[in-house]
Amino acid sequence: MRLFNIFALLPLLPLLMASPLCAQVTFGSSGEEGEPFRRQQWRVPSPDTDIAAHALLFRPVGAGPFRLAVIAHASTQNVLRRAQMPQPEYRALVAFLVAHGFAVLVPERLGHGATGGRYVEDQGGCDEADYARSGRATAAEISLALDFLRKQDFVRQDKVVVLGHSAGGWGALALANTDPNAISAIIAFAPGRGGRANDEPNRICAPQTLLAAAAEFGKAARIPVTWLVATNDSYFAPAFSRQLADAFRGGGGKVDFRTLPAVGSEGHWMIESEAGVKAASRELGLALNQSKPAAAKKP
């Protein structure tokens, strides 16, 4: 190589040796619509600005605008199980909501499955469990996804319903402090953290800490909560779930607590099944009807 060419390349060396820049994070649809219910892959904001959270979007037929329902999935403290978690779909619950006219978003949170990234919802061990912090972290992730979808032209900006399952339900309780003009109802399926500690049925990690956090969420709550738990839930049994709901109510939150029939061998996962959604259909229908916009009065 000629000396001139060597000197010409010198200014470029820092650029050639530098690490490649991260690809720009883009949000929105990332695939074609399919079945069922116009199923479509989306990317939505996450607390990590370098990571777009994976999500699934389902819609009724037509252009909308549709009311929005966001489903917040369950979680686990087990790192390997989180990494291997398939993208949540809640197919039977989605079918129920789409039939009631909702566009349904099921976002995957940081630290789970294909989204990856740092797990921001970590509750800590029993001795130092911080359930209030983990719930607020989950709520913040739900809010980011919700706020992004609400800006789409096929979605109504008001009367959103948030449905949370287990840790996702716990985050939904923390989200009950939101403006009720934006979110009209919260439906929580066996909400909580630290259930089935050490994989032992009906053993809860630091239950008094969990109860105190529920009361804390209730103090700031502005949105009514429908709280559902199956009789055969071994993570948060009905008796303890009622204590949690009472703590939330005692803090000032509005709660409609309901115990549902046993479904399958473990009621904690009932809402992921068709039989579970069928068992909860009456309560779901009541919660959705209560959150419907009021009909305009005739002049």
Q: What is the DSSP string of the chain?
A: --HHHHHHHGGGHHHHHSPPPPPPP--EE-S--BTTTTBEEEEEE-SSTT-EEEEEEE--SSS--BEEEEEEPP--S-HHHHHTPPPP--HHHHHHHHHTTEEEEEEPPTTSTTT-S--TT----GGG--HHHHHHHHHHHHHHHHHHHHTSTTB-SS-EEEEEETHHHHHHHHGGGS-TTTEEEEEEES--SS-SGGG-TT--SSHHHHHHHHHHHHHH--S-EEEEEETT-SSS-HHHHHHHHHHHHHHT--EEEEEE---SS-GGGGGGSHHHHHHHHHHHHHHHHHTSPPPPPP-
pLDDT value at position 292?
A: 55
| Environment class of 282 (CB within 10 Å of its CB; exposed 0-12, middle 13-18, buried 19+) | exposed
Query: Under a CB-based contact definition with an 8 Å cutoff, are residues 24 and 50 in contact?
Result: no
Q: Which two tokens stand for residue 52?
A: 């777009």
pTM of the model: 0.89
Question: From CA 189, how far away is CA 163, in angstroms rounded?
Answer: 8
The residues pairing with 41 across neighbouring beta strands, listed in sequence order, are: 56
Query: Under a CB-based contact definition with an 8 Å cutoff, are residues 193 and 235 in contact?
Result: no
pLDDT value at position 294?
A: 43
Longest distance between any two alpha carbons in the chain, whole Å: 88
Give me the tens of pLDDT residue by residue for the chain, a chain 299 residues long. Answer: 333 343 343 343 333 333 334 458 899 999 999 999 999 999 999 999 999 999 999 999 999 999 999 999 999 999 999 999 999 999 999 999 999 999 999 999 999 999 999 999 999 999 999 999 999 999 999 999 999 999 999 999 999 999 999 999 999 999 999 999 999 999 999 999 999 998 999 999 999 999 999 999 999 999 999 999 999 999 999 999 999 999 999 999 999 999 999 999 999 999 999 999 999 999 999 999 875 544 433 33
